[in-house]
Structures are given as C-alpha cells and as structure tokens.
Structure 1
C-alpha cells in the first residue's frame, strides 16, 4: 500500500512542479516533437532532469504516451535503462500497455529484469495489470519468472492483497506449465538415455556373441581339420598294433621317467609326411601303456610342433624334470632335411623351411648335444625320418640335390642310444595298407610281441622293414647307434 501512495505522490509532485521543468522535459511531457527536435539541435542535454529531478525527457514522453517523441529521443541517444526517480522507461511502457513500443525498447537494449526503486520488475507490473500478451512477450525476451513469483509472494512492493493475488494468478500457471514441460523434457531425455544405454548394451552383447561365434567356428574348423587328418586311418584302416596293452608285470617305467613325442604330418608350407600324426599319437598311447606317467609325457602334434615349442621341451622341460635315475624316451616322426652346404641333418618343425634350415630347422646335433648333457640313467631316441633329401620323410631346399653321403655319425655318450628308420642315403617310407610308417609299425609291433630292449627291437625289425620296403621298390634299412653288441641288456622299454 505504501508503494501505491509513493507512486501517487510522485505524479502529484510532478504535476505541482511543472514550473520547475526544463524546456526539453516540458516539451517531452507535452509530446511536442518539433520543439524536442529544435532543443536537441540547439544542444540541450538529452538526459537533463526536469520537474521531478530524476525524470528524464524519455521517461516523461513514455509516461504521457507520446511514443513518437520517445522514439525520437531513443534515436538521438536517450538511455533506455536510465531510472526516472523510481521507474525505468520499460516499466513506464508496460504501464502504458504499448506492445510495439515495449518491443522497440527491448530491441534497443532495455533490460527486461531491471527493477524499479521498490524492486518491482516489468514482468511483475504486467502481471499486476493483467496484461497477458505483455507477460508472454517479456518471458519470451528473458524475464525472470521465478524472481517475479517470489517477490509477489513476499509482497516486497506493499501492494494491496488483490494486486498480489492478481500477480500470482497470472504468473503461477505459467510456471506450472513450464515445470511440466521441463519435467516432460527431462523424462524424455531419461528415456532417450535409457534407450541409448540399452542399445549400447545390446551392441556389446552382439559383439561378444560374434566374438564367441568366431572362436567356436575357429575351434570347429581346427577340429574338423584334425578329424580329416585321422579319418582315413580311424574309419577305414585298422591295424593289429592299434590298441596297446601291457600287464603290470611287463612294465619297467618309474615315476621319474620322461617321454617326448613329436609327430608332424600336416606342415605349414610343406608336403605331408604321411601318417606321422597317427604314428606319434599311437606312440603316445604306447608309452602310457608302458607305465610313463601322463604328467611326464609331452606330445607335440602338427601345429603344436613349432621350432620354438620343440626347443622349449628339449632344452628346458626335459632338464628341469630329469633326475639321475630317470629314463628318457624321445620319438620323432616327420620330415628331416640336410643342409646342402654342410650336410648337417635337421628336424623340420611344423613352421620349418628347408630353404632356411639354419633359421627354421632344429639341428639333430643340437638335439644330441642337449640330451648328452642330461644327468639321467638312459636316453632312448627313436627317429622315423630320413635326412638325405631324397624323398619319403625327407625334404630338400629348392634347387638342391639329394646328398650321396651324410655327415659322419655322431659320437654319443654311453647312456644314449638312437634307433633310426634308415641309413644315411635312404628314405623312410609308409604303408597305406597298415596306416603307419613302416618303421614305426614294426617298432610298435616288436614291443607288443615282447621285444624288451632297443637292441632286440632293432634285430627284430631290421629284416621286416627291409622286406616290406623292397616290396614297394625302396631301400630302407633301420640303423642303430651304438652297435647292438654294446647295447645288450641296456635301454629296455619293457619286461
């Protein structure tokens, strides 16, 4: 109520002080646009106070609704935010109710949230006067709705209760509508975020499933490849040596005895070594039947038998496991190759290349040197391979010729014996009828038939291998190092 009395007093004083006005403020109050132009042209101060000391020419023109005069003053540089005693030009315009002029003031920089001397903003005056169109215009231009509602609720301007209620009745529904829109928008954003998260989760699940499916396909392909390698023998060819069985009384192997079995049939980039996979797998079954513990058997087949894998087993696994009383059994079935320049013999790993043997092959000399350093009771080496480069289980560098003579025989320690499939210049052959390499077949048959030592096995299989090789027009004679006479009673595999 005090605010209303203050406003009435302002205009009462303004009316009583007309005689104190300057020529410019008087002309603006009267709306004499020509006089205003003339006075401004003659140098009158556009912001000079007159009548009421704080009321500028712009405030007078708007208060008395002389909008053409007010536009002229704005065009000539009048400050659109200068307070006239209490009110700003924008509040005067809101009270006048001219939307077009309000828009002009805002366009020229009038602050929509600048309050009067009592803290009343243009929006509050528009709501108080129930000027709905102006309320929405001011809100559109950035008027602070929340401040206006709080100020009205606290009645900082000392309005009549009905005036306060009018202000709140105009503003609160708008606030409620805005809040509802904001809540709806937030809800929509939450739903959108939830959908996005769900899509990301679904994508992750899909990617994981694709990865798992890829692994499954990879495993199936690998298993199929293995099955294809074995299907001829397992489904068609049955041999009399395929199922090893030894009584406890026939076993001599102890807990510390070790076996390394390597078989490579399908090479990474070389022709197959027929039946080497099956031969090695069956030898693995035999050593288990002979009493070797599964934990002491290393079986490397095809793609597992890389150069690095072979070196790791021979150079690290064996020395770490070996004990002074251990018997060591080493079997290899696969390609061998000679180095053309030196005549040195190499085992060809799964990833080996006969053109680069020094880098990709495993030297037979290195095998024997490592085995010789083992502090063990006995080492038995069985080689179903050949190293002449003349064919069979042997390969040769491109452009090289098979060697007529191999490097001189290795001098082996007394605790090592080597039984090989061939003599130096021969080739190791296989039997499609038996589904095995000829040498490995008769080696295992000798064990099954009761031959106990390497020397006994050699004497048993030598004529049998030679005869079967001759039947297919091949020369193949097993060899043993050292001489059989020196091995009598030693290097036993069974009782």
Structure 2
C-alpha cells in the first residue's frame, strides 16, 4: 500500500537514540488485525506484532520516550479514535521543530471517489476497526482526502509516515470477498459485492497511496514510506506460524536500521536510499517465494536532498592519526569527522550526511561501489 508519501512540513530527518528526545516528540502507532465486521478469513495476524516491533524501534533506536508513543490496536482503532488521535496527539500536541512519527499496519483499500479529484475515479483509504461493507463499497474508512489536511497542519515538524498496507490496483477488479479469500496474508480489502470490471492501475505513477497529492507535502519536508506501489499488494509473512507473523515490509524496515544491515557502501551511515534498497530486496525475496505475489516495490517519498541523509543520527567520530610529526612550516593534519550536519530548506531539524563526497554519492545511490 502506499500511503501518503508526504507527511508534514518537516524535514525528513530521523534522529537517533543517542540524541535527547525533544519535549514534544510524538508517535502514533496503529495496528489492526481484527475487524468488527469482517469474516475470519479477512483478518490479519501480523499487525499485533508490528506495533510492538515499531515501538521498540522508536524507543531503542530513534530516541523516543515510551510516554511519547500512543498505540491503538484492534477495537481501540475505530475511525473516531484514529482521527481524534492524529489531531489531538500529533497535530495539537506538537509544534514546529518537534518530531512526529505516524505508523499504520492493517488493511488498505480503495473506494469510489466522490470528490472528483482522482484520475482513476478511486480514493485510497485505510481501514478502521469499525469499517462496514455498504451495497457496493466500504464505509466508515479513513480517506486520503481526510488525512491530507491533517498532515498539512503539521507544518514545521519533522514528520515521518510509515504505512504497511495496500490499496492496490488489483482491488479495482472489484473482487467479491469470496474471490479474495484465497489470498491469505494480503493486506487489502476487495470492494464488497461489486461486479467484476476491467483491471485499473495507476501505471507507473509513484505517489505512495493514501495521501496521493504528495508533492506539496514532500516539498515541505515530509518523508513517507509505504509497503508497495499503488497497484500492488502488501503482505503478512505467511511463511511464519500464525502467532509469529508480521508485515513483510515492517520487518525489513526495522531490520534495515541495524548496524551494517543495509549500509551498502559500508561507510557507517545508513541512508534513506540505502534503507529503501534494503526493504525492496527483502520484499522482492519474499514475493519470489510466494505464488500469489506478483511483485512488490516499497515506496519512499521525500525531498531529494535527504536521500543520502542518515536514517539514524550517527555518532560523529573525529579520528586523529596515531603518529603525527608537527613541522614548523606545516600544520598537524587531523582527519575530519566522517559525518556532517546540514539543514536543507525547508527543514525543521538537521540531517546528517557523509562528509566524504564519494561516500555521499554511494549513500544517495543506495548501493555500494561496484563499478
């Protein structure tokens, strides 16, 4: 699913555990596997584990305090509770310069566009615990049109949005619940009781889902991750026992923060581009192992200036040569720090990039030097 690739007028920087948490850092973590009005074969087993894992990433790696994280799971995640938490906890509870992290794990879907602002006639949406099936579409969902203005109100924060769900083009086949029942672990809901029609996809548009008018938000400094392209499906990892399942994307996203896991050019800095490469490889490896999975292309929407920026603030290291011989006519040479702090415009907070230009290029490209 591709959710909103933008998330606020904030900079795409993500700070690390070694830096003190800001007074108003806020995270909202939502996971829905059990739904009030869905049959058992449409429930998901991964979200309950996803929310725990993301909370661990926030506290252990990104430096969020436990009290700054609000979690909504299953029956807690009604439409009213989700919207009110975004508004009260994230929008009203933070100010310019704070960090905001919004995570969703659950079903994504598409519903008929009533406002006329969608090229394909469909609105992207995320599910709620209390969503309902209408005569030919889902109701009581949260539309991209509802989320976008809330995200826009977080101007000046460093906002990160991560969506592990899908509202893919395959949904536009208007599959009945019976037809979709065979796709175990798929994180999308087919349109209920609709007649089948020609497959409609968004081609090569890479706009990351639910907030699919992302350009203004991204230009404002928002960074958005989503598990798949708008025409693809996101998955629970069905290779695992039911109680151990998690989102394929979420697991790869968290693993990518670990030292040396996704640092392709081995310079000690894991960049946004390198993390994207890592989650893409892990997702495609999963897809290759499953007959029902055609392909997965995780998405990152962010300012170009931060593609090579660290996802976690690196420890700045200043190394002095073991032996130095000062000469009267020559100053002592001291190696500069491996990383430097920059503040792209617009930016709420600084980001960290490699000071070595060659390392910087590798971080931006997201791969090691194989030339």
Could you say whether these structures have the same fold, taking a TM-score greater than 0.5 normalized by the shorter chain as the test?
Answer: yes
Structure 2 match to 1:467 = 285
Conserved? CA contact 2:164–2:234, under 8 Å? yes
Counterpart mapping for 1:211-290 below 5 A: 249=18, 251=19, 253-270=21-38, 271-289=42-60, 290=62
Partner Cα distance (2:233, 2:140) in 1: 22
Name stretches of at least 5 consecutive residues in structure 2 with no aligned partner.
1-14, 114-120, 172-182, 263-269, 315-371
Q: TM-score, normalised by structure 1?
A: 0.46
* Structure with the higher helix share, 1 or 2: 1
- In the TM superposition, 1:44-443 aligns within 5 A as 249=18, 251=19, 253-270=21-38, 271-289=42-60, 290-341=62-113, 342-355=121-134, 359-388=139-168, 390=171, 392-400=186-194, 401=196, 404-406=200-202, 409-412=212-215, 413=217, 414-434=220-240, 435-443=245-253
Q: Residues 60-113 of structure 1: CA distance to partner in whole angstroms, max 9, x if unpaired? A: xxxxxxxxxxxxxxxxxxxxxxxxxxxxxxxxxxxxxxxxxxxxxxxxxxxxxx
RMSD: 2.7
**CA offset at residue 273 of structure 1?**
2.1
- 1:488 pairs with 2:282: no
Q: Matched residues in 2 for 1:489 and 1:376: separation? A: 21
C-alpha separation between the residues in 2 aligned to 1:340 and 1:260?
Answer: 28
Q: Which one has the bigger strand percentage?
A: 2
For the structure 1 residues 358 and 447, does the alpha-carbon distance in structure 2 shift closer, same or farther, using more than 3 Å as the test? same
> If the length of structure 2 is used for normalisation, what is the TM-score?
0.60
Higher RCO (Cα < 8 Å, 6 or more apart): 2
Q: 1:477 to 1:247 in 2, by over 3 A?
A: closer
CA distances 1:175-200 after superposition (whole Å, capped 9, x unpaired): xxxxxxxxxxxxxxxxxxxxxxxxxx
Matched residues in 2 for 1:415 and 1:488: separation? Answer: 12
| Corresponding residue number in structure 2 for 1:122 | none
Distance in 2 (CA, whole Å) between partners of 1:283 and 1:477 is: 21
State whether residues 429 and 469 of structure 1, in contact with CA within 8 Å, keep that contact through their aligned partners in structure 2: no
Alignment gaps of 5+ in structure 1 = 1-245
Task: Confirm or deny: 8 A CA contact 1:380 1:491 kept in the other structure.
Answer: no
Contact 1:266 1:350 in 2 (8 A): yes
Alignment CA distance shift 1:277-1:338 (3 Å) = same
Higher alpha-carbon Rg: 1
- 1:480: Cα distance to partner? 1.6
